[in-house]
Amino acid sequence: MSHIDTIQKTLITGDEETLLDQVREALDQGVAPQDILSQALIAGMDIVGERMESGEMFIPEVLMSAQAMGRAVEILKPLLGDEESASSGRIIIGTVKGDLHDIGKNLVVMMLESSGFEVTDLGVDVSPDDFLKAIEEVNPHIVGLSALLTTTIPMMRETVSKIIESGKRDTLKIMVGGAPVNQEFADEIGADAYAADAGAASKLAKSMLG
């Protein structure tokens, strides 16, 4: 079995310590960190999602895989990205209110940071008011909203509306993403950009800030 297959299989079992050993071993053997991330970890989480949906895996098991993935990503983090030094701009980002999914958002944060952005990560379950508070404090160039549930993407619309009401809309760009989000929805709620994945988010952020 290849390193990629082995890592993916272990991620699905949620055996964190074995996963970390296998990731380190694959890196030692010259497997590219980007391949470990996309082909083993992200693809593995997709399988976890399918099994969750079909009832083969339950929430505690999914959480074990999610936690193991977070630790594995920490190992890969310094090895990915452009490592630019000058600040490319200030970004605040969070998963919207009612939504606790943060693995994808954390990957977006990682890519943005490694592209030189100063990122303020507000975490998960972030209310429109908390976004507004952070906008006041940080005066960001970009606000990023993440959501993974069809039931929480309406909260993106509400957050954008609150930003408009606050009078701050013209001072910043809004980027949205997450599995149930698409370009059409982004246009509909008045966001400036939609990114399908972490790589696209970093490219878009750079292009939006010229």
Establish if 34 lies at the interface with ligand B1M (CB under 6 A).
no
Rounded CA separation 175/200 (Å): 11
Q: Kind and range of the H or E element at 114?
A: helix 103-114
| 182 three-class SS | coil
Q: Find, among 170, 169, 145, the residue nearest to 157 by Cα.
A: 145
Residue ranges in 128-167 that form contacts with ligand B1M under rule CB under 6 A: 144-146, 148-151
Look up residue 191 and give its amino acid: A
Establish if 39 lies at the interface with ligand B1M (CB under 6 A).
no
Interface segment toward ligand B1M; rule CB under 6 A; list 21-29, 48-56, 130-138, 182-190: 48-56
- At its nearest, how many Å lie between ligand B1M and the CB of residue 93? 6
Given 179, 192, 208, 209, the residue binding ligand B1M (CB under 6 A):
179
Given 16, 102, 113, 121, the residue binding ligand B1M (CB under 6 A):
102
- At its nearest, how many Å lie between ligand B1M and the CB of residue 130? 15
Rounded CA separation 127/130 (Å): 5
